[in-house]
């Protein structure tokens, strides 16, 4: 393979799309915290001075959408006259929520296996909440078994918010984006960081300065010292004299968040996953309860792929699973190790089918997806709505556990012996 460059981006929690993701997942947390079997499909839209919450929600929980949305917006950092133009206290909140369609509900609550075959297996009872295809991926480029470009982009975005909220750089505002370009050698191994891009919202005046060029130079120095350096220090060997930096390359970023650009739930699906390094089935995560396989099956596929790479059965692994709405059993399960596997992909696929149960209720029970908000003081899904749903060494996520390594290695040894 020839030398190549690969780029991934991330955004901060104050990005308008991410603000919407967090509101939708705050609604999900509130519903599941009191009623773990809630059916939630919540979409949020934000623009200048307005937030619209819509979707289909069936739950025994009484949700105060207005208070929940304002609290989320305020905690992100949009509160008061100096927060970038959008204000949790003064924005309008419009709620347009109804119950889940009975046509969908009957197919999910009583799967085709129960309707047609009269199955007595409890796990067969819950059907997939939609049709679709989902992917999970892992590789050995980082300790958390994620691709290096997205791992660095997420860490930079998180650090950008941390230095703002801690007061280290008080002139920063909530909106921001990061981007990392990594150069890979002929063997596909990360060789160096080619380019780092950070665009961060900021106050109109910093230390008395208002000139755009002065502000840009000031911000660039702080970004290198307080954001980039702490993140890449452990990767110093990947930074060289030719690494390029673009800090607020537009020259000015005062108007941001929903005041500068409309936001919508589910518009950052590549940021949420692998930064474009692996394939994506197209379904978003935020605002969806675990019966929606767009979310739960992607978590399960990541869990499988990570354990395969953790077991050293491959250096890269991508797992695809597909479903039909109202059917419990997956339509297909596929695995690819891109030529890095120690056994053939077909044999590895057989092992996956033996070890992992990918029916929706089995995934929900294994990863405890309906109870995670209650187990985390009422807030779980909102915490992963920013900075990625995978990797995340800062959080303890059940689909990141490496608890199937020995079982996979034993099965692989058996397959190798049989071959």
Number of H helices, E strands in the chain: 14, 11
* Other CB atoms within 10 A of residue 11 CB: 24
Q: Are 153 and 180 in contact (CB under 8 A)?
A: yes
The reply to whether 177 belongs to the active site is yes
- Closest CA relative to residue 386, chosen from 277, 306, 278, 285: 285
Asked whether the beta carbons of 333 and 134 are under 8 A apart, the reply is: no
180 contacts 193 by C-beta, under 8 angstroms: yes
Which of 262, 345, 357, 374 is the catalytic position? 262
Active site residue 43: yes
**Chain centroid to CA 162:** 18
Check if the beta carbon of residue 70 is closer than 8 Å to that of residue 42: no
Catalytic residue among 9, 21, 194, 294: 294
How far apart are the C-alpha atoms of 34 and 116, rounded to whole Å? 33
Active-site entry in 70, 114, 164, 177 = 177
From 15, 39, 70, 366, the catalytic residue: 15
Annotated catalytic residue within 56, 74, 121, 357: 56
The verdict on whether 18 is a catalytic residue reads yes
C-alpha 114/C-alpha 310 separation (Å) is 36
Catalytic residue from among 6, 9, 13, 18: 18
CA–CA distance, 115 with 125 (Å, rounded to integer)? 9
| Residue 289 annotated as catalytic | no
267 is catalytic: yes
Residue 315 known to be catalytic:
no
Match 């609290």 to its residue by tokens. Answer: 71
Classify 344 as helix, strand or coil: coil
| Dihedral angle over CA of 273, 274, 278, 281, nearest 10 | 10
Q: Is 261 a catalytic residue?
A: yes
Does 262 qualify as catalytic in the annotation? yes
Geometric angle at alpha carbon 151, from 147 and 152, rounded to 5°: 120
Cβ atoms of 349 and 333 within 8 Å: the answer is yes
Nearest alpha carbon to residue 254 among 202, 207, 205? 202
374 is a catalytic site residue? no
- Alpha-helix runs per DSSP H in 186-226: 212-222
A 10 A CB-CB count for 218 gives: 16
Torsion sign, CA atoms 179, 87, 52, 389: positive
- Contact between residue 179 and residue 356 where contact means Cβ atoms under 8 Å apart: no
Tell me whether residue 79 is one of the annotated catalytic residues: no
Which of 137, 253, 356, 380 is the catalytic position? Answer: 253
The residues with which 333 forms a beta bridge, in sequence order, are: 321
Catalytic residue among 70, 159, 173, 268: 268
192 is catalytic: no
Nearest to 278, CA basis, from 270, 286, 290 = 270
Marked catalytic residue, from 75, 140, 261, 407: 261
Residues contacting 234, CB < 8 A, separation 6+: none
Residue 233 a catalytic site member: no
Give catalytic residues, as residue numbers. 15, 17-18, 43, 56, 177, 253, 261-262, 267-268, 288, 292, 294
């Amino acid at each position: 393979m020839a030398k190549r460059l690969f780029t991934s981006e991330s955004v901060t929690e104050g990005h308008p799309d991410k603000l919407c993701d967090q509101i939708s997942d705050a609604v999900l947390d509130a519903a599941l915290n009191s009623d773990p079997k809630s059916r939630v499909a919540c979409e949020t839209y934000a623009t200048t001075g307005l937030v619209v919450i819509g979707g289909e929600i069936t739950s025994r929980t009484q949700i105060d959408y207005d208070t929940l949305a304002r609290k989320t917006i305020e905690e992100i950092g949009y509160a008061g006259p100096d927060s970038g133009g959008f204000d949790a206290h003064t924005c309008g909140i419009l709620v347009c929520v109804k119950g889940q369609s009975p046509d969908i509900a009957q197919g999910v609550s009583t799967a085709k296996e129960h309707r047609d075959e009269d199955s007595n297996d409890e796990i067969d009872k819950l059907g997939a909440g939609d049709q679709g295809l989902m992917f999970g991926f892992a590789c050995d480029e980082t300790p958390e078994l994620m691709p290096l470009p997205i791992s660095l982009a997420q860490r930079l975005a998180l650090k950008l918010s941390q230095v703002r909220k801690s007061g280290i750089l008080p002139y920063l505002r909530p909106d921001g984006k990061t981007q990392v370009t990594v150069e890979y050698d002929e063997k596909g191994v990360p060789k160096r960081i080619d380019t780092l891009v950070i665009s961060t919202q900021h106050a109109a005046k910093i230390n008395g300065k208002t000139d755009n060029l002065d502000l840009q130079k000031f911000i660039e120095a702080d970004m290198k010292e307080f954001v980039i350096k702490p993140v890449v220090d452990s990767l110093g060997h990947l930074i060289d004299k030719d690494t390029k930096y673009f800090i607020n390359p537009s020259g000015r970023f005062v108007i941001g968040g929903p005041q500068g650009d409309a936001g919508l739930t589910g518009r950052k699906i590549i940021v949420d996953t692998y930064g474009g390094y692996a394939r994506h089935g197209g379904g978003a995560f935020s605002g969806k309860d675990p019966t929606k396989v767009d979310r739960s099956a992607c978590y399960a596929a990541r869990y499988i792929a990570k354990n395969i790479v953790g077991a050293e059965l491959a250096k890269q692994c991508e797992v695809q699973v597909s479903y039909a709405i109202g059917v419990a059993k997956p339509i297909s399960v596929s695995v690819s190790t891109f030529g890095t596997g120690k056994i053939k992909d077909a044999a590895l696929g057989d092992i996956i089918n033996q070890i992992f149960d990918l029916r929706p209720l089995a995934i929900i029970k294994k990863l405890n997806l309906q109870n995670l908000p209650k187990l985390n003081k009422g807030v779980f899904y909102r915490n992963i709505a920013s900075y990625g749903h995978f990797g995340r060494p800062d959080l303890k996520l059940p689909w990141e556990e490496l608890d199937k390594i020995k079982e996979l290695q034993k099965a692989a040894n058996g397959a190798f012996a049989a071959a």
